Structure 1
């Protein structure tokens, strides 16, 4: 792929604006994950309740993606994106000033942050519509790489919370949110062409198509795994390996950087060798990683209540970081591979499909975080939760084997791109 040709093929300011918009929205969406140990410090909650709290924004974002996709098709992605971001900014400013005094207030704030997660249904189709089929993998990978916002969350939020209090984190977050919203309003443009009003009947029609259900299941696994781990791992490391909040944040930022940074690579590889082949290999890696993590033992207790510092962590914790890094890298690349295939199959319904598939992915993230909490409460460990998602990844691998011949000989052949 030649960069000059790629740049001329679409509207790169919109692609950059979509990337930045998704980045800051994702940062807000997963903000509870690295901060939950600070926010609920004095609330006396059980471990499974904490995992549920970090999962609420994920579920809210998932459920809001379908209506967000409808609004984007009706009113334009740009208008919808601006209004959605203003709502998230208002909620963030409120919490920065008034705090979160109760469990209910945390839950309500999680619902508001879900609007940031729903931005998936705005940014990705907005970028996709500007580019021809042969560039869909890399375009969707670049726009979707905005999920690296979670890296900034996990890297800096715990440190800011330690020194200035967790409310200060949301004050700092407001600055890039406002700046990027201003750039998005200036630079982003909706692709030319008539927008058709979307009805619930249209969603029903797509749901009856087995291909749409397969894509939703695959993204339930890949994006659900990515965002679920991004939200749950800070709490997981403090519970399983007794590390400090700052150390947990730095570890998760390292792990998630692999998934975020390699999402465009996943799309690029899918463009070259085909999304089915690349996704099949990645599912195999995910299965192996989940199974290995499931059998990792708990780490030794820390010598102080604050937990292990990064330089003091036991070897078992570093082994876990390595396994998570491999698994999340495969999940991130899998996200790119799934979205190389979707525009080839559903070019005219990309807004609808992005909302539906994104909804499925977000629900997957909720269930992963929730499953880890339930596993800990019922069995005393997290292994059962990881084994369950390892089984789902195996089913994804088998599902691809079932559909690959039909896909390659029907819409894959008609698209002219590698499938």
Structure 2
């Protein structure tokens, strides 16, 4: 799906650096999810507190993505990313040194980890600005595949926490972040001829455009589903199927790996058949998988199979959305990445917190999963409503070189 001309376009060292920076940032962003069972046992959290614990980093990261979107257009993506990475490293080291002893302190840590989640609004424009329209899907798919860092958190965090204590895992996590920071400093470069920085009023004016709200909603479903499940599945498998934290982490890693691996595939597929058609297929698959999973499968592996299918669809959807965004808002890609990324994080916050409260109030995760499946169906309806207008205006032949 990647032709040879892609490798001649853009700047490969920046693309790879953006991926690695994003990857390690996402690893720590969702870390409270894989550690959640052990943290909750030590600090005696109920189901609602567990849900909020894993949801707060998602909300913090969502809101900070807007800040990063503005900074990217003001001081450049490389400098913005450097500042954020240093904040996260210092936060992890401080939590490791001082310890975390209460629900309030866990939430405060979650806010700091949200800075890592806001790396989305840095990595994508850092890569996007180097590549022409016909390669936006695959370029942003590769950079965005850094959400695979969530796999490392699910695979290694529970086992390391059992061996060394979950507080020490926070300190260990600062090591790969420091390595990623070094690679980023050496190899990443801002693209030449960046868009002119805009005033605050001009940023807010983007919200007057209806297409911006559609993109924000579409990503709230695709990335919200991905990040919300990545943060919640370890607790889900431990609570509903009695799996140990380590085995539940392995199950989560399998689902997350599937979703993160195919993000570039989703972008490349959207380049081939158009982002609207690709997204429609992916939303239908995700809605069906989540709806079926809500009925509590008899065996854990059956639930895992459904979540893998749902994550494959959501992960590809993440790539497909960002095949479309740079075509519609190329001159506002920094702020649009921040806004769209923000709503993606808010979607994840909603899903993670609603699953926790659904479990606490009803004794089941079904209600939370079903509502999110309905949101995916609403997204399909939305795509059906706007696809003709998009294809005859900014997506028309002669206006865009890429398919929508």
- What TM-score, normalized by structure 2, do the two folds share? 0.98
Change (3 A) 1:199 1:240: farther
Matches within 5 A, 1:376-415: 376-413=359-396, 414-415=399-400
Question: What corresponds to 1:306 in structure 2?
Answer: none
- CA drift of 1:43 comes to 1.9
Q: Unmatched 5+ residue regions in structure 1?
A: 298-314
* Residues 83-102 of structure 1, C-alpha deviations (whole Å, 9 max, x = no match): 11000000111122222111
Map of 2:403 onto structure 1: 418
Q: Distance in 1 between matches of 2:278 and 2:386?
A: 14
- Write the distance in 2 (CA, Å) between the matches of 1:132 and 1:211: 21
Partner Cα separation in structure 2 for residue 85 and residue 374 of structure 1? 32
Tell me, yes or no, if structure 1 residue 346 matches structure 2 residue 329.
yes
Q: Secondary structure at the match of 2:331?
A: coil
* Equivalent residues in 2 for 1:179-218, closer than 5 Å: 179-218=179-218
Question: Paired residue for 1:27?
Answer: 27
Q: 1:72 Cα shift?
A: 1.3
User: For residue 311 of structure 2, what is the aligned residue in structure 1?
Assistant: 328
Per the TM alignment, residue 353 of structure 1 is displaced from its structure 2 partner at its CA by 0.6
Where do 1:275-286 residues align within 5 Å? 275-286=275-286
Structure 2, unmatched stretches of 5+, are none
What is the match of residue 82 of structure 2? 82
Once the two structures are TM-superposed, the CA of residue 371 in structure 1 deviates from its matched residue by 0.9
Q: Equivalents in 1 of 2:373, 2:4: separation in Å?
A: 41
Q: Residue 375 in 1 paired to residue 358 in 2?
A: yes
RMSD: 1.1
* Cα shift readout 1:246-289 (whole Å, capped 9, x = no counterpart): 00101100110000000000000000000000100011101101
CA distance in 2, matches of 1:12, 1:416: 22
Which secondary structure does the structure 2 equivalent of 1:41 belong to? Answer: helix
Partner SS for 1:203: helix
For residues 82-123 of structure 1, the C-alpha deviation after alignment (integer angstroms, 9 at most, x for no partner) is 011000000111122222111111111100000000011100
1:202 Cα shift?
A: 2.1
* Equivalent residue runs for 1:120-199 within 5 Å: 120-199=120-199
Equivalent residues in 2 for 1:309-328, closer than 5 Å: 316-328=299-311
Q: d(CA) in 1 for partners of 2:176 and 2:59?
A: 24
- 1:337 maps to 320
CA distance in 1, matches of 2:98, 2:130: 42
- TM-score, normalised to structure 1's length? 0.94
Structure 2 CA distance for aligned equivalents of residues 319 and 31 of structure 1: 25
Q: How big is the shift at 1:148?
A: 0.3
Query: Aligned partners of 1:407 and 1:194: how far apart in 2?
Result: 26
